[in-house]
Amino acid sequence: MNRMIYVKQTSHVMHMISIIGAGKVGSAAAFDILRFRTSDVVLVDVVENLAQGEALDMMQAAPAIEFDGKIRGTSDYSEIEGSELVIVTAGQARQPGMSRFDLAEKNAKIVKSVVKEVAKYCPDCRLMMVTNPVDVMTYVAYKESGFERNRVFGMGNILDTLRFRSYIALELGVSREDIRGLVIGEHGDTMVPLVRYASVSGIPITELLTKEQVEKIVSLTRSSGSDVIRLKGATTYAPGVVIAIMADAVLRGRNRVMSVSTFLQGEYGFSDVSIGVPCVLGRNGVEKILELNLDAETKREFEKSVASVKEATKKTYKPA
């Protein structure tokens, strides 16, 4: 009698990602990247021993998540050399009552110093910004790095889109998996959930929800980040998993369609601003920007969002 023996195949992860900032979001993202088996991870933080401690904790969990790659923590930027993707979460955290723009000046200084090190040790990497306000910080990183614009992008509205989808599912009492949606604009109070493009298994939500229900969902989507911060002090799990999803799209060249903060050069009629728009995210970073036809009201909302980000950027970023 012949017996078939099934052997679980494992392979060492050859990619390398560096995450600058070992706080709650950076560490959550690192662990999700390991859990998805996307890449080896270098975790960097200027706080003595913080990154080393986080890496040790994750390494001890690695057998449970069946990850055989490497996770190491350091305060030495030279150890990021060779990284294909560098993710920046470093910066002051948003506190209850603060807008993302309240953080802009302080975090711009931090981002400038970080980007200088990234350009020195990883001149060919893709650079993902998470530090808030992410649209402004993406602009700062693009200008300071000297990289091509496709290689510098921010988390943008992917997290907002997950929140939008979650609230639609809750309102309808259906699986979140069947919800599709998109949010564009600022990652902040002037974000623009695209109601016309939201659906449940292809059925437009406007066919299933009243105008009042839709307005409630949009309002909750816009306030949800502040709601979490008010209740527990910081957002952690949702941004962590979004970062991991984006890293997977880039490292594996999956060409995912996501609303990413990217530098515009005429798209949607705007230039010299980094803001969330639908993009194809793949091995080269932003492979393509998708320009949608926006109705008059949505276009006005997006224009307001662009103006808000431009104003904050102008106040924050002073080129050397």
Q: Give the model confidence (pLDDT) of 129-154 as tens digits.
A: 999 999 999 999 999 999 999 999 99
Mean pLDDT of 32-57: 96
* Confidence at residue 318, expressed as pLDDT on a 0 to 100 scale: 83
How far apart, in whole angstroms, are the C-alpha atoms of residue 202 and residue 194?
A: 15
Whole-angstrom Cα distance, residue 148 to residue 176?
36
pLDDT of residue 233: 86
Higher pLDDT, 234 or 94: 234
- Is residue 198 within 8 A of residue 161, CB to CB? The reply is no
- pLDDT of 21 reads 98
CB-based contacts of 16, cutoff 8 Å, min separation 6: 39, 40, 41, 42, 82, 83, 84
Omega cis (within 30) before 278: no
CA distance 102 to 216: 26
Asked if 155 contacts 243 with a C-beta cutoff of 8 angstroms, the reply is yes
Distance of alpha carbon 140 from alpha carbon 148, whole angstroms: 13
Q: Is 12 in the active site?
A: no
Q: What is the pTM of this model?
A: 0.92
- Residue 226 is predicted with a pLDDT of 87
Task: Indicate the class that CATH gives domain 158-316.
Answer: alpha beta
Residues 153-205 have pLDDT tens digits of 999 999 999 999 999 999 999 999 999 999 999 999 999 999 999 999 999 99
Of the chain, the end-to-end C-alpha distance in Å amounts to: 76
Q: Is the pLDDT of residue 252 over 60?
A: yes
Spatial CA neighbour of 243 closest among 141, 127, 143: 127
Q: What are phi and psi of 261, to 5 degrees?
A: -75, 120
- pLDDT value of position 14: 61
Domain boundaries, the chain: 16-154, 158-316
Contact status, residue 317 vs residue 144, Cβ threshold 8 Å: no
Across the chain, mean pLDDT equals: 93
Q: Which of 94, 126, 187, 256 is catalytic?
A: 187
pLDDT reading at 11 higher than 70: no
Residue 6 has pLDDT above 70, yes or no: no
Nearest to 276, CA basis, from 183, 145, 190, 197 = 183
Question: What tokens does 261 get?
Answer: 């903060």
Residue 187 Cα to chain centre, angstroms = 10
pLDDT digits (tens, 9 = 90+) for 66-113: 999 999 999 999 999 999 999 999 998 777 766 667 788 889 999 999
**What is the maximal distance between C-alpha atoms in the chain?**
77
**pLDDT at 125 > cutoff 60:** yes
Question: May I ask the CATH class of domain 16-154?
Answer: alpha beta
- Model confidence at 256, pLDDT cuts 50, 70, 90, reads very high
Per-residue pLDDT, averaged over 109-134, amounts to: 97
Give the mean pLDDT of 24-48: 96
Residue 15 — very low, low, confident or very high, per pLDDT cuts 50/70/90?
Answer: confident
Per-residue model confidence (pLDDT) at position 10: 45
pLDDT value at residue 99: 67
